[in-house]
A and B are shown apart, each in its own frame.
Chain A
């Protein structure tokens, strides 16, 4: 029963790709939304390109965090080279550890994008308030960062567990 024996690494990999998947999808939706808004502003005033570009990119970080969690998990479970002998319990733990990033990353990217779209219309009307407009979406990102933190700490912690 090779599958049962190797279930640990399967679950761990499932966790890694879930984090990358969900956060990546969230960011893709988010950056898409903000991109539409940004393009609208640039049709009116091409000189605002650099400002709205920054605002467009803000919801993109969740995807990077997802990638980060995915990558760390891959290195920890030995998929990127090394020993990939993961017990079932550890596999489940890795899977669970990846979940905060997956869920929070997905939802916060979309919510951050909505804040960013509003900030883009703010910058369109009042370009001098750009920095303030940048802070509102950045507030949403805090929660993605907190989720990232928990995921990272869990993943690093699991390695040392005697299970």
Chain B
């Protein structure tokens, strides 16, 4: 268990090498930059935030262009592609592509422009279609619709919203207007009747008023004959559709540029980050300074490389006591996978131990106990192994998680065999139903929790006590290591005495041992010793728990309150009963599915039913119970275990590096 030691780095280089040095540091990703040097007469900072904003915008544009490309010419993605990780790109290719970034960016803008065009054109389609629809009833009319009349006549063109015959129309008109007018029907349908009315110019006002009264609505005003206008509109419609198709075609034809666009998105993201660092860089007329943190083991290599490549002078020293040094965890292969879990709780604060190594074995054991089915365990192990082997470029965090599930899977398999569970009782069900051999089953190596739940409960609580005591042990260890032996005794040894003594004392009472189904009861002398130990622990806690108070009265009260904390130990230990509950849930639900599957007995439909129920049922059960095991293992670690010794709150090491999405540039040295 280790928190990697860090060195404080001071780098000083010539300004002309500034850009390349920064790029090198970014590719190496071992330096977390801290801006500590203020401005003075010699060293000044450069304001490059506006360029940074431009790069960020470009990166966002490239992403949007990729999104457009994705929606018109989508990239084929496999089910497991999310495990793939970023593509590795050699430095030479990076440099070659970086040269062309403007050109690629132009393509991105072209894509954005095309998408905009498509959007606009598609917006105009409904308008044209609407106009066409309005002209439809007038298609046989051979005058422009904005025709107002001749020298001596006035014309009115419009529609009334009902179906009318010629006769009805004339009658209706003459009933509201005495002046003569010539009315003709252009077309008529259920919804409307299109009318062309002509009258003498002097009668125009009366005629118009009469037509209005009949509900005449003016026709759409066109200067062309409707048929001609229709043709024009149809052509426009066709042209717009063609333009949309062309634009789509062009977007699709740009699909091969996807890789370049991804590159340019990454490229600008990286440049934006670099400029973020550049912005805080102290620079004089000809030199620049960088300060930051480097893992101690990388320091020498970095120093040598920087000196050889860019003539940069590097100096390293141990960070000061009061500095908030960023944290990296480094563990062996077995404990490394749980680092992610610790990170999500909080990295070790200054002076705290890295709990990974202690936590890892418990994590796997607890997970295994909760899932406890050999077949499920094997599925997990081989699933994780397959992904790990198939995608060696996988991102580090994901790799750790998969390894964690692989180890948990091994533990699950182990406990599955211990408790005789392989897809629940599938072995026995299959043998009984299809081979008529009820004598075949997979006997547990230890015992079956369904048959002996009390035994499993006792075992769960024992695991809990060991887990909690280990947590206390870590606290003792770190107290001793940091030279606070007395604190270790007050906060840990007294609790060991109190809780341990109480547990042992309970085992001497036949009431408890019978209830727990234990085959032994400890003799009375042990009980006396245990009671004495518990008493010493209790008195110790009452006397020392409030030791920071000078006032004895206050101190005792605080001590009593501390001793009241024994109830929290009770609830902590009982909390491990979830090992029993979740373990039983897995096996009972498997049993239910096996039973359901075997309901039609030994026949062809019976076999088919069994296979279907078996596959669906066990997939479901594995998914739900693996989730449950994951959640509750985390809970036991975070609440019960970490509660005893660990607080967290360290700052994660966030190096100046390539935080890209698609490519990982590799230094080809």
A residues sitting closer than 8 Å to B (CB atoms) are 54, 57-58, 60-61, 64-65, 67-68, 71-72, 80, 128-132, 134-135, 138-139, 141-142, 145-146, 148-149, 152-153, 156
- Taking the closest CB of chain B, its distance from the CB of A105, in whole angstroms, is 12
Would B592 and A61 count as touching, CB distance under 8 A? no
Contact of B457 (CB < 8 Å), options: A58, A132, A139, A149: A149
Residue of B with least CB distance to A72: B588
How many Å lie between the Cα of A67 and that of B596 in the bound state?
A: 14
- With contacts A64-B589, A149-B580 taken as known, whether A135 is within 8 angstroms of B457 at the C-beta atoms is no
Asked if B577 is at the interface (CB within 8 A of a chain A CB), the reply is yes
Asked if B584 is at the interface (CB within 8 A of a chain A CB), the reply is yes
How many Å lie between the Cα of A146 and that of B341 in the bound state?
A: 26
Q: Name the segment of B251-259, B494-502, B551-559, B634-642 touching the other chain.
A: B634-642
Can you list 28 A-B contacts with CB-CB less than 8 angstroms, sorted by A residue number?
A54-B627, A54-B631, A57-B627, A58-B631, A60-B624, A61-B624, A64-B585, A64-B589, A64-B624, A67-B589, A68-B589, A71-B591, A72-B588, A128-B344, A130-B344, A132-B344, A135-B634, A138-B632, A138-B635, A139-B639, A145-B577, A145-B582, A149-B457, A149-B580, A149-B581, A152-B580, A153-B454, A153-B457
How many Å lie between the Cα of A80 and that of B592 in the bound state?
A: 11
- Taking the closest CB of chain A, its distance from the CB of B327, in whole angstroms, is 16
Would A134 and B584 count as touching, CB distance under 8 A? no
How many Å lie between the Cα of A148 and that of B457 in the bound state?
A: 12
Asked if B574 is at the interface (CB within 8 A of a chain A CB), the reply is yes
Would A139 and B588 count as touching, CB distance under 8 A? no
How many Å lie between the Cα of A67 and that of B591 in the bound state?
A: 12
Would A142 and B578 count as touching, CB distance under 8 A? yes
Residue of A with least CB distance to B344: A131
Asked if B453 is at the interface (CB within 8 A of a chain A CB), the reply is yes
Residues of A within 8 A of B585 (CB): 61, 64-65, 68
Would B635 and A149 count as touching, CB distance under 8 A? no
Residues of B within 8 A of A60 (CB): 624
Asked if B141 is at the interface (CB within 8 A of a chain A CB), the reply is no
Residue of A with least CB distance to B587: A68
- With contacts A138-B632, A146-B577, A149-B457 taken as known, whether A131 is within 8 angstroms of B624 at the C-beta atoms is no
- With contacts A60-B624, A61-B628, A131-B344 taken as known, whether A67 is within 8 angstroms of B592 at the C-beta atoms is yes
Q: Interface residues of B: mostly helix, strand, loop or mixed?
A: helix
- With contacts A57-B627, A145-B578 taken as known, whether A135 is within 8 angstroms of B588 at the C-beta atoms is no
Residues of A within 8 A of B454 (CB): 153, 156
Would A138 and B581 count as touching, CB distance under 8 A? no
1/0 per residue, CB under 8 A from A, across B617-636: the answer is: 00000001001100110110
Report the number of A-B residue pairs with Cβ-Cβ less than 8 Å. 70
- Taking the closest CB of chain A, its distance from the CB of B650, in whole angstroms, is 15
Residues of B within 8 A of A149 (CB): 457, 577, 580-581
Contact of B574 (CB < 8 Å), options: A64, A135, A146, A152: A146
Would B631 and A134 count as touching, CB distance under 8 A? yes
Closest 7 CB pairs of A and B: A131-B344, A138-B635, A145-B581, A145-B578, A68-B588, A148-B581, A149-B577
Would B453 and A153 count as touching, CB distance under 8 A? yes
- Taking the closest CB of chain A, its distance from the CB of B299, in whole angstroms, is 29
How many Å lie between the Cα of A119 and that of B624 in the bound state?
A: 19
- Taking the closest CB of chain A, its distance from the CB of B659, in whole angstroms, is 14
Would A135 and B639 count as touching, CB distance under 8 A? yes
How many Å lie between the Cα of A46 and that of B571 in the bound state?
A: 39
Residues of A within 8 A of B578 (CB): 142, 145
Would B575 and A142 count as touching, CB distance under 8 A? yes
Would B631 and A138 count as touching, CB distance under 8 A? yes
Residue of B with least CB distance to A61: B628
Contact of A71 (CB < 8 Å), options: B341, B577, B588: B588
Would A135 and B638 count as touching, CB distance under 8 A? yes
Would A139 and B345 count as touching, CB distance under 8 A? no
Residues of A within 8 A of B589 (CB): 64, 67-68
- Taking the closest CB of chain A, its distance from the CB of B661, in whole angstroms, is 12
- Taking the closest CB of chain B, its distance from the CB of A123, in whole angstroms, is 12
1/0 per residue, CB under 8 A from A, across B450-477: the answer is: 0001100100000000000000000000
Residues of A within 8 A of B580 (CB): 149, 152
How many Å lie between the Cα of A141 and that of B635 in the bound state?
A: 11
Residues of B within 8 A of A129 (CB): 344
How many Å lie between the Cα of A27 and that of B7 in the bound state?
A: 52
How many Å lie between the Cα of A57 and that of B585 in the bound state?
A: 16
Would B581 and A57 count as touching, CB distance under 8 A? no
Would B581 and A131 count as touching, CB distance under 8 A? no
Would A152 and B624 count as touching, CB distance under 8 A? no
Asked if B271 is at the interface (CB within 8 A of a chain A CB), the reply is no
